[in-house]
Amino acid sequence: MPVSGRTELVAILGDPIAQASAPRLMNALFERQGRDAVLVAHHVRAADLASALAGLRATQNLRGAIVTMPHKVAVVALLDALAAEAREVGACNVVRRAPDGRLVGTMLDGEGFVASVRRAGHDVRGARAFLAGAGGAAAGIAFALARHGATALRIHNRTRSAAEDLAARVRGAVPGFDVAVAAGPSPTGCDLVVNATSLGMRSDDPTPLDVGGLEPGALVAEAPIRPEPTRLLAAAAARGCRTHGGLAMLEAQIELMAEFVFAAT
């Protein structure tokens, strides 16, 4: 559909942004829906995030924005209201602009991850999970695993205090759930392993965990999106693990994001 003066805008904010797959996926969705809208990438550095949000408020034909790394946590303080999921997680990955310029955010990383796993024929229910990372995407996934029936969760992060904080918040939200900081970077004994760090976005990134601890048959999933298998997924496949790439997680979220952005206000 050609872009015109009537076309509604959606932004995606990130740093870096050139690698983003969301514009291709969401614009294809708009085309299928016959919606006169376009998603445009915005390269926004952390120091400029507040200014970028002010610009979104002032843009009358803007319906909302996807928020990606590294802004998912920082953007929370800049919004006018948060859905329950975003308040709980402390991060946001999609924003709706109300007609009066107010910005409302929610968090769909966790639900998108669970939905993508189910679409691939797997399930998180009953899983003993290992999660690398404690940032916005990791937090969304941690809460979703707890709410969707995982048996246990171990969180590994380079900054241990961040992992401890996330574990405590999940434990407080889902009493009785077995969640703790991992003893180290090895996922030994876990049948679901998730990388929700930024490691994997570049081909020369190291793996975010000890691949020697991967159990054959375990499901190893990535949040970072690359067109080819990351070093982690390649190592997992070599050890007889099932693998699940980050693009599947985003694909499962795209319709949810569009639904949120274009919801009646």
- The contacts of residue 92 (CB under 8 Å, 6+ apart) are 67, 72, 75, 76, 79, 82, 86, 105, 106, 107, 136
Q: Confirm whether 72 is a catalytic residue.
A: yes
- CA-nearest of 150, 151, 264, 133 to 207 is 133
Asked, as a colleague might, if the bond just before 216 is cis with ω within 30 of 0, I would say no
Cα(81)–Cα(70) distance, integer angstroms: 20
The single residue of 63, 71, 72, 226 carrying the catalytic annotation is 72
- CA-nearest of 221, 210, 225, 220 to 240 is 220
Cα(237)–Cα(46) distance, integer angstroms: 35
> Which residues form the catalytic set?
72
